[in-house]
C-alpha cells in the first residue's frame, strides 16, 4: 500500500513513471502504444496498458484514465493506488475478474495540460461513423465567435454578452450548447473531429486485443470537471439501453444516489454525441457490458468553461506572451485537478468503492437489477 498523496502527480511524465513503477511492483507486463508526438517536456507519450489477471477470464473490468487529457491526473492516481492495493487485487483475483488498466487514453492532452487530443479533438465525442452525415450543433454554431473572442482575457463586452445569453436562455442551454459536441468548427470547443483520432484507433486496438474473450465487461472511465468538488458522480456510459442502465444501477447505485443518465436528464452532463463507450458495441459484440464515467467535481461549471475557452484561445494564438500562456495552463490544471489532500482522498475512496462494486457485479454478487 502507498499513501494517497504518493499515487498522484502534477505532471504527465511523473504520473506515467508512477504507473509503470506500480505495474512493475505488481509483476504486470505493460504494452506501451507510443504516440507519434512528444510531450510538453519533450518526453515520450504513450497509452500504457496492463492486464492484472487471467487473459482468458470471462469477466473483465477496464479502469481507464486520461480520456480528456488533463483529467488524467485524477484517473492516474486511482490506477497507481490500485496497483499497490493488495486487498483490491486479491478481491478481483478471488472472484475471477481480470482488470485491464489503460493509462492515459489521450497522453498528448495529459502532458500538454489540454483536454483535447493533438488533433484538437474531444476524444469522447469522436466515436462516430464518419462515413455518415455528422451531427449539426446549431446552438454551438451561434456561440462559437462569442466563446473564442479575438483577445484574452475577454473584454467586458464579451463577458456581458455571455452573461446576457445565460440570463435569457438559462445555464442549462449554455452548457448543452457548448459541451454536447460539434463537428463544424475544428478550432472550437468540444470538437468531435472529422475522422477517428490516434487515440480512438488505439483504444479500439486495445479492446480487440484484451476484451474479445470476455463474456462480461465492466468499464470505469475516470473524469473530472463536473459537479460539486470531490463528489464522484456515477454517470451511465452506453447507448440508451434500459437493461444496461438497470445493471449499472444495481452495481453502483443507491436509493440516495442512483447512477445518473444523460438520457433522462438526471446527470450533471448534458446529452453528448460520439461517446467512447460506443466502441464496446463494435469491438466487443460478444460481451454484455456495463459502464460508467466516474465524474469528480472540481470548480463551478462556468469557471471550468472559462478555463476551456482560454485553452482553445491559446491554441489559436501561438504568439501569446509566455506569461499569459502559463496563466492559461495553470487555470486549466486547477479546473480539472484539485491539488489538495482532501480532494485526492475523496477520489480514491469513491473510486475504490466503485471498483469493488464492479467486481461484485461482474461475478454475480451485486443485487439483481430492479
> Coil, strand or helix: which one is 107?
helix
pLDDT tens sequence across 225-278: 999 999 999 999 999 999 999 999 999 998 888 999 999 999 989 899 999 999
pLDDT in tens, 273-328: 999 999 999 999 999 999 999 999 999 999 999 999 999 999 999 999 999 999 99
**121 phi-psi bin (left φ>0, alpha ψ -120 to 50, beta other):** beta
pLDDT digits (tens, 9 = 90+) for 265-280: 999 898 999 999 999 9
* CA–CA distances in Å: residue 311 to residues 93, 188, 304, 318, 333: 42, 10, 11, 11, 11
Report the C-alpha gap between 300 and 259 in whole angstroms.
Answer: 21
pLDDT of residue 97: 98
- pLDDT of 118 reads 98
Q: How many CB atoms lie within 10 A of CB 194?
A: 14
Q: How far is CA 109 from the centre of its chain?
A: 11
Q: Measured in Å, how far apart are the chain's first and last C-alpha atoms?
A: 36
What does the pLDDT look like over 198-223, one tens digit per residue?
A: 999 999 999 999 999 999 999 999 99
The pLDDT of residue 370: 63
Interval 112-116 mean pLDDT: 98
Under 8 Å between Cβ of 64 and 293: no
User: According to the model, what pLDDT value does residue 365 have?
Assistant: 77
- Statement: residue 113 has pLDDT above 90: yes
**Per-residue pLDDT at 108 exceeds 90:** yes
For 121-160, the pLDDT digits (tens) are: 999 999 999 999 999 999 999 999 999 999 999 999 999 9
Q: In this structure, what C-alpha cell is assigned to residue 69?
A: 487529457
- Residues 329-345: pLDDT tens digits? 999 999 999 999 999 99
Tell me the DSSP string of 10-51: SSHHHHHHHHHHHHHHHT--EEEEEEEEE-TTS-EEEEEEEE
CB neighbourhood size of 340 (10 A):
12
pLDDT at 72 over 70: yes
Chain centre to alpha carbon of residue 63: 11
Q: Between 1 and 3, where is the model more confident?
A: 3
pTM of the model: 0.97
Per-chain mean pLDDT for the chain = 96
Query: What pLDDT is recorded for position 369?
Result: 73
C-alpha 271/C-alpha 273 separation (Å) is 7
- Region at 236 (left for phi over 0; alpha for psi -120 to 50; beta for the rest): beta
Rounded Cα–Cα distance for residues 63 and 351 (Å):
10
Amino acid at each position: 500500500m502507498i499513501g494517497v498523496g504518493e499515487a498522484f502527480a502534477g505532471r504527465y511524465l511523473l504520473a506515467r513513471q508512477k504507473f509503470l513503477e506500480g505495474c512493475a511492483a505488481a509483476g504486470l507486463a505493460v504494452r506501451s502504444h507510443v504516440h507519434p508526438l512528444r510531450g510538453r517536456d519533450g518526453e515520450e507519450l504513450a497509452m500504457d496498458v496492463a492486464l492484472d489477471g487471467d487473459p482468458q477470464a470471462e469477466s473483465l473490468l477496464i479502469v481507464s484514465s486520461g480520456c480528456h487529457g488533463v483529467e488524467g491526473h485524477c484517473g492516474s492516481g486511482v490506477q497507481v493506488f490500485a496497483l499497490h492495493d493488495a486487498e483490491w487485487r486479491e478481491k478481483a483475483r478471488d472472484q475471477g475478474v481480470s482488470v485491464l488498466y489503460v493509462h492515459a487514453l489521450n497522453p498528448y492532452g495529459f502532458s500538454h495540460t489540454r483536454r483535447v487530443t493533438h488533433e484538437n479533438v474531444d476524444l469522447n465525442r469522436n466515436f462516430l461513423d464518419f462515413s455518415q452525415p455528422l451531427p449539426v450543433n446549431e446552438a454551438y454554431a451561434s456561440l462559437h465567435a462569442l466563446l473564442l473572442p479575438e483577445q484574452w482575457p475577454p473584454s467586458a463586452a464579451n463577458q456581458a454578452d455571455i452573461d446576457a445569453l445565460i440570463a435569457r436562455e438559462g445555464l442549462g442551454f449554455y452548457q448543452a450548447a457548448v459541451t454536447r459536441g460539434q463537428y463544424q468548427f475544428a478550432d472550437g470547443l468540444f470538437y468531435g473531429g472529422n475522422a477517428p483520432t490516434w487515440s480512438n484507433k488505439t483504444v479500439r486496438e486495445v479492446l480487440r486485443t484484451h476484451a474479445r474473450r470476455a463474456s462480461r465487461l465492466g468499464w470505469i472511465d475516470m473524469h473530472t470537471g463536473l459537479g460539486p468538488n470531490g463528489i464522484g458522480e456515477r454517470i451511465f456510459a452506453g447507448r440508451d439501453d434500459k437493461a444496461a442502465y438497470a445493471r449499472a444501477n444495481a452495481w453502483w447505485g443507491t436509493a440516495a444516489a442512483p447512477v445518473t443518465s444523460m438520457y433522462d436528464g438526471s446527470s450533471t452532463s448534458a446529452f453528448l454525441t460520439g461517446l467512447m463507450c460506443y466502441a464496446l458495441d463494435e469491438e466487443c459484440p460478444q460481451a454484455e457490458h456495463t459502464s460508467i464515467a466516474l465524474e469528480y467535481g472540481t470548480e463551478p461549471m462556468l469557471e471550468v468553461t472559462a478555463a476551456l475557452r482560454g485553452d482553445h484561445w491559446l491554441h489559436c494564438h501561438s504568439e501569446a506572451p509566455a506569461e499569459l500562456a502559463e496563466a492559461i495552463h495553470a487555470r486549466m490544471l486547477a479546473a480539472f485537478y484539485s491539488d489538495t489532500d482532501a480532494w485526492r482522498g475523496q477520489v480514491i475512496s469513491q473510486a475504490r468503492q466503485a471498483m469493488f462494486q464492479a467486481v461484485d457485479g461482474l461475478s454475480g454478487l451485486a443485487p439483481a437489477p430492479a
